[in-house]
């Protein structure tokens, strides 16, 4: 098409209004039909650039820019305009900030202190008088040109930085200016010039008058001048603003910002309306690319309007239509690029709306769709680069959302996306290396270079993702300048930072460390690579992740060799010699072992595989500097932390897990080598410790002359003998470390392999080859042993199971015999009560009878020669009766008051002084010498628990012997002050009486209470003088007191006694005499009644009122005639009082000594009638004079005399 510059700015009236409509906006006004345009003036000016109506200078400039862009274009990179804040562009004109202080203050107020509450505006200051911004006049493509591409490469930058929404002209003009007319003409001219410069665009043009004072709204002059200014400049009054220079300048500026923000909002709203009208006129099936373009622009303008929801809606529409475009080979790259732009916008808006799940879902669908979409116009590494960038920008968006408060979990966090981005970056690097080594590239590069030259000179590409001039050689050349490892390291570090926040992601962190180390090796940062490998190897060994461990060992060994690190080098060599996951090639295994032996002899090990010449030379110099040092380099290797090619097992040869002081015990150690060649050791060391005190530790070595040689696949046995010392008694001895020494102490390098066994299980242990089962010992040997004290060799002869009588001092004899092979000294014997019964039984010890009051007894004995004896005696006394008492006798160290002896033994040519303890428990019983039983009963033989004042009772005492014969010399009875004895008795029954378990003694006495008590009291105490009959303990008399009858003594107002004959004869009367005694100091009135009985007839008082003065007595005599023989109940006397309490007391206590029954014999008994009354009266008076045992086992008094009756025939 022929270009015509005049047509671009021709007046549309020249063509006149046509009868057809504009094919773009359907407008009838000013349709241009020349060149078959059929477009209105506005649409022509908008799309003139895309249909070829451009100035030559502009076309050349844009061709140069596009060619420069595509020569360095990377489809994986996102343009900065895509991620920068979307701020509305406001262009400021007329401000001279360099020469005018007022203008500088206005500019600083606009750009300084942009708080979040201020409008999101981007102010650009344009200085000068020309205001020529013609470079921003970039046109939108037409519908016909839509097939060329979707989005121009500079469209977003143009609307962010070059196409303003509002143009603001600042003019210094006061209403009362003397040069008003000149200023008015100048202002109108500037506005006209600005409009001409932005011809074809529709930004809002605002005028701001900078005035030196504040004008009131009611000022008529200001109103008149403002109307004149608006008319002269063809400006709406809404676009005229006044900015006074006052102390409140910042407030006026903020209000002015909000006015600009409203104008910008209207501008972008108009652009959206225009795009909507254009998109509605499209056909989605035909103009798919144009539909995507308009939707993208709508979303972008919505973002500029700060309408995030509408922007998200438009971006999703654009993306959905993008997926409907057929991905032909020539369009795949463009679709991927535009899809990446849209996905970035959609995911960022989703995260902004706190819809993280929707963002992840959209991103996963996006990746699944484009993962396998490749084109002939892109290399494989470019596709991997694009995928890496997609994951990278999503991880950045995700990370920003997390920092803003989004909650994540261990299963979904940004670290996974950073890790995947790093994986694709590593894949990109690998594919680039493969492409660079391809032999066919040379011919392809020449052909493609020629094609590129011809294409670049004829084709200009200005759309994102289009690659008309692409060639593989240029892509490889550009990719060769890219630092893949640095980007991968950054991504891996970001992933590590997120995985560290989740304890359950341990395996993922270790995997990342391995990849990080690999990238450090590619970068040549061997120090960081070795650190990463060593940090990952420990956890990987414990997790038995053998594949990753095997992958780490070779590069880690290369780093250790290059850095001349002998400790790490030896450890890695030993682990590579492990048969489980180490090196399997025999030649390589032999080489590794020889490198190890060479290092132990002071030689430089050979370079590792994969090292280039420069790295090998640098490593050689580092090793030489290390080995040329005059001092010996000690290389301690913690072999227990690695899976070395050596198996170490061992334990104490004591299946019970116990050892004795001064008795040697053996520690067995077994070594098995999996190395390919024999290994010469200098010595083998085992360190032992007693308890947990590091100060109590010692080390045992193999003999210096015995240099162990470990043969391959052979088990070697080493024995170490230890002898526990006395200070080890009561604790444990265990092995803390096992050390193998390689090399001479005089050589430059001295290697030690140490296994730390403190954390190994208690029964049997294997401290090497953690990833496989170690060879077991024939017997499971314990790792630690408990040290027991030296057992005493003493023979103790003493009585056991004897009985100690309470109160006596028992003589006890102990004989000790020395069974040791050496003399013993400091022999001490201590006797004390068992801890289970101490302070409970009152056991006392003493050296003699006079001083037998100690709770423990300590006796110093002489030193004893072998097979000699020593005897000691002491006394024991008890205060309580116990069935079984434990008495401890200990022979041992003089500590804690125990009996000790000391013996010096020669063990393994070393004198060892041992303190031995012998614990001997003797059981014996403590018993009373005899048992005393007592109780109270009435004169009728009835047992009672309470006594009544002035009522005669009987005290009965019975003494029963025990298993030990006892001699009772005398007995004394002591009554309490509340009781008097009726008839004093001399207890001759207990004088010099010997009693045992088959003997018992009894005594009885009559007592009368004389006073009442409020609580139970002991009636009497019986004191016995006694001693053991066989006199084995002592010859002195022992006095023991017993408490008798602990009862209550109560008072009763009246006591009744009765005199009754011992028996009666049927039909012969006898006399019954009742005596009623008042025991109180008051007069007592009673009602006395005798109960009638069918067995008797009686004469006398039957019912009467009695009055007893204080301490007086009253006798009632009844003449009773028996009617029936046998045991008969006597007439019962009933005493009643006006007080219920007195009546109850009388019923309970008053008649306890009154007989209830009497024996009535038949009439033909031998007793004569003339003697009946006399005998009956005599029996009644002497009732208590004779002792006899009644059927209750109690003592009662009775006198009975029978005479046969004379009969005549």
**β-bridge pairing 166-172 and 88-93:** parallel
Q: Which of 125-129, 945-949, 1077-1081 has the lowest mean pLDDT?
A: 125-129
Q: Is 760 left (phi over 0), alpha (psi -120 to 50) or beta?
A: beta
Please tell me the CATH superfamily of domain 634-787, with its number.
Immunoglobulins (2.60.40.10)
Q: Which of 955, 965, 972, 973 is nearest to 993 (CA)?
A: 965
- Structure-model confidence comparison of residues 777 and 74, the more confident one: 74
State residue 760 phi and psi, 5-degree precision. -85, 155
Average pLDDT over residues 403-420: 91
User: How far apart are the C-alpha atoms of 26 and 29, rounded to whole Å?
Assistant: 9
Q: Note the CATH number of domain 794-927.
A: 2.60.40.10
Q: Report the interhelical angle of 566-576 vs 546-562 (nearest 10°).
A: 140
Q: Report the interhelical angle of 332-352 vs 356-370 (nearest 10°).
A: 170
CB 728 within 8 A of CB 787: yes
Q: Does residue 272 surpass a pLDDT of 90?
A: yes
Give bridge partners of residue 652 from the DSSP assignment: 667
**How long a stretch of residues is the chain?**
1209
Q: Does residue 271 surpass a pLDDT of 90?
A: yes
Vertex 262: Cα angle to 256 and 263 (nearest 5): 90
CB 871 within 8 A of CB 814: yes
Q: Does residue 968 surpass a pLDDT of 90?
A: no
Under CATH, which architecture does the 1-73 domain have? Irregular (4.10)
Q: Does residue 189 surpass a pLDDT of 50?
A: yes
pTM over 0.85: no
Most confident of 55-59, 104-108, 145-149, 965-969: 104-108
Q: Which of 776, 788, 763, 789 is nearest to 655 (CA)?
A: 763
Mean of per-residue pLDDT scores for the chain:
80
Residue 784's pLDDT is what? 85
Q: Which of 809, 919, 800 is nearest to 874 (CA)?
A: 809
Average pLDDT over residues 103-127: 89
Task: Give the dihedral of Cα atoms 873, 877, 883, 884; nearest 10 deg.
Answer: -40
CB 1123 within 8 A of CB 1066: yes
What confidence tens digit (pLDDT) does each residue in 995-1029 have?
Answer: 888 888 888 888 888 888 888 888 888 888 888 88
Residue 1197's pLDDT is what? 31
3-state secondary structure of 137: coil
What confidence tens digit (pLDDT) does each residue in 736-777 have?
Answer: 888 999 987 677 888 999 987 764 433 444 444 444 444 444
Residue 841's pLDDT is what? 62
Residue 961's pLDDT is what? 86
Give bridge partners of residue 690 from the DSSP assignment: 733
> For residue 925, what are its two tokens?
């019983």
> For residue 430, what are its two tokens?
């690998």
What confidence tens digit (pLDDT) does each residue in 485-515 have?
Answer: 889 999 999 999 999 888 878 888 889 999 9
> For residue 355, what are its two tokens?
């819809």
- Structure-model confidence comparison of residues 891 and 160, the more confident one: 160
What confidence tens digit (pLDDT) does each residue in 992-1001 have?
Answer: 888 888 888 8
In sequence order, which residues have a C-beta less than 8 Å from that of residue 435 and are 6 or more positions away?
379, 380, 381, 441, 472, 476
Q: Tell me which fold the domain 75-280 belongs to.
A: Rossmann fold (3.40.50)
- With bands split at pLDDT 50, 70 and 90, how would you rate the model's confidence at 951? confident
Please tell me the CATH superfamily of domain 1054-1163, with its number.
Immunoglobulins (2.60.40.10)
Q: Which of 900, 880, 783, 890 is nearest to 838 (CA)?
A: 880
Residue 260's pLDDT is what? 95
Q: Note the CATH number of domain 483-629.
A: 1.25.40
Residue 120's pLDDT is what? 92
Under CATH, which architecture does the 283-405 domain have? Alpha Horseshoe (1.25)
State the CB neighbour count (10 A cutoff) for residue 910: 10
Q: Which of 549-563, 594-608, 811-825 has the lowest mean pLDDT?
A: 811-825
- With bands split at pLDDT 50, 70 and 90, how would you rate the model's confidence at 166? very high
In the chain, % of residues over pLDDT 70: 81
Supply the DSSP string of 407-466, one letter for each residue. Answer: --BTTBSHHHHHHHHHHHHHHHHHHHHHHHH-TTHHHHHHHHHHHHHHHHHH----BTT-
> For residue 399, what are its two tokens?
């990370």
Q: Does residue 299 surpass a pLDDT of 50?
A: yes
Residue 14's pLDDT is what? 40
Residue 1169's pLDDT is what? 43
Q: Which of 1034, 1129, 1027 is nearest to 1072 (CA)?
A: 1129
Residue 435's pLDDT is what? 84
Q: Quick one: which H or E segment has residue 160?
A: helix 155-161
- Structure-model confidence comparison of residues 306 and 480, the more confident one: 306
Q: Hey, where are the domains in the chain?
A: 1-73, 75-280, 283-405, 483-629, 634-787, 794-927, 930-1047, 1054-1163
What confidence tens digit (pLDDT) does each residue in 567-585 have?
Answer: 999 999 999 998 888 888 9
Residue 808's pLDDT is what? 83
CB 927 within 8 A of CB 879: no
Domain 930-1047 -> CATH class = mainly beta
- 634-787 and 930-1047 share one fold: yes
Q: Does residue 1153 surpass a pLDDT of 90?
A: no
Residue 518's pLDDT is what? 92
């Amino acid at each position: 098409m022929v270009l015509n510059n005049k047509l671009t700015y021709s007046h549309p009236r020249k063509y006149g209004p046509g009868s057809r409509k504009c094919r773009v906006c359907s407008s009838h006004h000013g349709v241009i039909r020349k060149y078959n345009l059929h477009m209105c003036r506005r649409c022509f000016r908008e799309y003139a650039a895309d249909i070829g109506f451009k100035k030559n200078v502009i076309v050349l400039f844009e061709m140069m820019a596009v060619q420069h862009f595509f020569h360095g274009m990377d489809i994986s990179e996102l343009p900065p305009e895509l991620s920068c804040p979307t701020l509305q562009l406001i262009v400021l004109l007329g401000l001279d900030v360099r020469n005018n202080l007022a203008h500088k203050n206005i500019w600083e107020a606009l750009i300084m202190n942009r708080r979040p509450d201020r409008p999101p505006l981007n102010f650009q200051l344009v200085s000068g008088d020309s205001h020529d911004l013609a470079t921003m006049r970039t046109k939108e493509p037409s519908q016909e040109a839509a097939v060329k591409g979707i989005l121009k490469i500079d469209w977003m930058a143009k609307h962010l930085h070059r196409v303003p929404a509002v143009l603001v002209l600042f003019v210094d003009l006061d209403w009362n200016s003397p040069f008003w007319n000149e200023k008015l003409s100048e202002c109108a001219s500037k506005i006209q010039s600005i409009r001409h410069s932005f011809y074809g665009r529709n930004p809002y043009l605002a005028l701001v008058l900078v005035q030196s004072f504040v004008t009131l709204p009611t000022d008529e002059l200001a109103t008149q001048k403002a109307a004149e200014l608006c008319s002269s400049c063809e400006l709406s009054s809404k676009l005229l603003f006044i900015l006074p220079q006052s102390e409140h300048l910042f407030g006026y500026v903020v209000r002015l910002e909000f006015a600009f923000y409203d104008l910008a909002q209207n501008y972008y709203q108009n652009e959206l309306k225009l795009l909507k009208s254009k998109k509605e006129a499209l056909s989605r099936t035909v103009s798919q690319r144009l539909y995507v373009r308009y939707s993208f622009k709508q979303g972008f303008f919505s973002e500029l309007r700060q309408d995030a929801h509408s922007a998200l809606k438009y971006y999703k529409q654009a993306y959905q239509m993008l997926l409907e475009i057929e991905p032909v080979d020539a369009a795949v790259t463009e679709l991927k690029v535009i899809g990446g732009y849209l996905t970035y916008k959609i995911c960022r808006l989703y995260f902004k709306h706190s819809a993280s799940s929707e963002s992840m879902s959209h991103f996963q669908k996006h990746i699944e769709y484009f993962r396998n979409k490749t084109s002939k116009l892109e290399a494989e590494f470019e596709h991997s680069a694009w995928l890496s960038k997609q994951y990278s920008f999503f991880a950045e968006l995700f990370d920003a959302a997390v920092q803003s408060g989004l909650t994540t979990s261990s299963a979904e966090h940004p670290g996974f996306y950073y890790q995947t981005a790093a994986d694709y970056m590593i894949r990109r690097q690998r594919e680039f290396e493969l492409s660079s080594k391809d032999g066919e590239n040379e011919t392809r590069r020449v052909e493609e270079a020629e094609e590129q030259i011809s294409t670049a000179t004829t084709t200009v590409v200005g759309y994102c993702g289009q690659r008309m001039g692409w060639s593989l050689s240029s892509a490889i050349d550009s990719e060769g300048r890219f630092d893949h490892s640095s980007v991968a390291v950054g991504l891996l570090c970001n992933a590590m930072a997120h995985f560290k926040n989740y304890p359950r992601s341990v395996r993922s962190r270790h995997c990342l460390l391995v990849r990080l180390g690999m990238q450090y090796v590619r970068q040549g940062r061997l120090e960081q690579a070795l650190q990463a490998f060593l940090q990952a190897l420990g956890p990987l060994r414990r997790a038995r992740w053998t594949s990753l461990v095997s992958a780490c060992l070779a590069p880690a060994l290369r780093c250790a060799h290059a850095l001349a690190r002998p400790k790490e080098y030896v450890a890695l060599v030993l682990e590579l010699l492990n048969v489980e996951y180490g090196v399997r090639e025999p030649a390589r295994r032999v080489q590794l072992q020889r490198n190890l032996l060479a290092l132990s002899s002071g030689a430089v090990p050979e370079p590792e595989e994969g090292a280039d010449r420069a790295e090998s030379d640098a490593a050689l110099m580092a090793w030489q500097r290390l080995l040329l040092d005059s001092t010996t380099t000690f290389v301690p290797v913690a072999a227990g932390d690695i899976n070395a090619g050596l198996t170490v097992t061992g334990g104490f040869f004591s299946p019970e897990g116990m050892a004795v002081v001064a008795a040697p015990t053996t520690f067995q150690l077994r070594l098995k080598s999996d190395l390919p060649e024999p290994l010469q050791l200098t010595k083998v060391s085992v360190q032992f410790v007693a308890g947990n005190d590091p100060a109590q530790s010692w080390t045992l070595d193999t003999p210096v002359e015995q240099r162990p040689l470990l043969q391959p696949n052979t088990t070697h046995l080493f024995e170490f003998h230890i002898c526990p010392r006395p200070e080890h008694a009561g604790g444990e001895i265990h092995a803390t470390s096992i050390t193998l020494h390689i090399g001479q102490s005089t050589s430059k390098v001295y290697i030690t392999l140490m296994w730390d066994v403190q954390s190994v299980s208690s029964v049997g242990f294997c401290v090497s080859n953690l990833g496989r089962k170690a060879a077991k010992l024939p017997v499971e040997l314990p790792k630690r042993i408990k040290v027991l004290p030296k057992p005493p060799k003493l023979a103790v002869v003493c009585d056991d199971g004897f009985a100690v009588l309470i109160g006596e001092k028992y003589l006890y004899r102990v004989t000790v015999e020395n069974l040791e092979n050496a003399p013993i000294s400091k022999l001490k014997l201590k006797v004390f009560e068992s801890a289970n019964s101490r302070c409970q039984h009152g056991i006392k010890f003493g050296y003699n009878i006079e001083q037998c009051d100690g709770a423990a007894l300590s006796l110093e004995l002489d030193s004893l020669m072998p097979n000699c004896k020593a005897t000691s005696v002491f006394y024991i006394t008890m205060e309580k009766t116990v069935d079984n008492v434990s008495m401890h006798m200990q022979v041992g160290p003089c500590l804690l008051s125990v009996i000790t002896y000391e013996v010096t033994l020669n063990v393994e040519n070393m004198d060892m002084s041992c303190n031995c303890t012998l614990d001997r428990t003797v059981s014996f019983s403590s018993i009373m010498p005899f048992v005393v039983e007592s109780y109270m009963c009435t004169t009728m033989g009835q047992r009672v628990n309470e006594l009544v004042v002035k009522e005669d009772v009987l005290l009965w005492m019975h003494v029963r012997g025990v298993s030990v014969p006892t001699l009772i010399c005398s007995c004394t009875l002591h009554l309490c002050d509340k009781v008097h004895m009726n008839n004093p008795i001399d207890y001759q029954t207990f004088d010099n009486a010997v009693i045992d378990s088959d003997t018992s003694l009894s005594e009885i006495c009559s007592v009368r209470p004389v006073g009442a008590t409020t609580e139970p009291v002991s009636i009497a105490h019986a004191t016995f003088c006694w001693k053991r009959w066989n006199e084995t303990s002592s010859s002195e008399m022992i006095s023991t007191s017993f408490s008798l009858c602990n009862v209550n003594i109560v008072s009763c107002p009246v006591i009744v006694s009765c005199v009754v004959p011992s028996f009666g004869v049927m039909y012969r009367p006898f006399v019954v005499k009742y005596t009623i005694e008042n025991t109180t100091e008051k007069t007592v009135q009673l009602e006395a009644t005798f109960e009638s009985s069918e067995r008797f007839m009686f004469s006398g008082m039957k019912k009467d009122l009695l009055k007893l003065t204080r301490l007086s007595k009253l006798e009632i005599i009844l003449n009773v005639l028996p009617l029936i023989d046998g045991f008969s109940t006597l007439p019962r006397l009933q005493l009643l009082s006006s007080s219920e309490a007195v009546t109850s007391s009388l019923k309970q206590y008053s008649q306890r000594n009154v007989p209830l029954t009497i024996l009535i014999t038949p009439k033909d008994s031998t007793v004569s009638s003339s003697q009946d009354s006399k005998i009956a009266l005599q029996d009644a008076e002497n009732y208590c004079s004779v002792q006899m045992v009644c059927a209750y086992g109690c003592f009662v008094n009775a006198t009975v005399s029978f005479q046969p009756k004379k009969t005549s025939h």
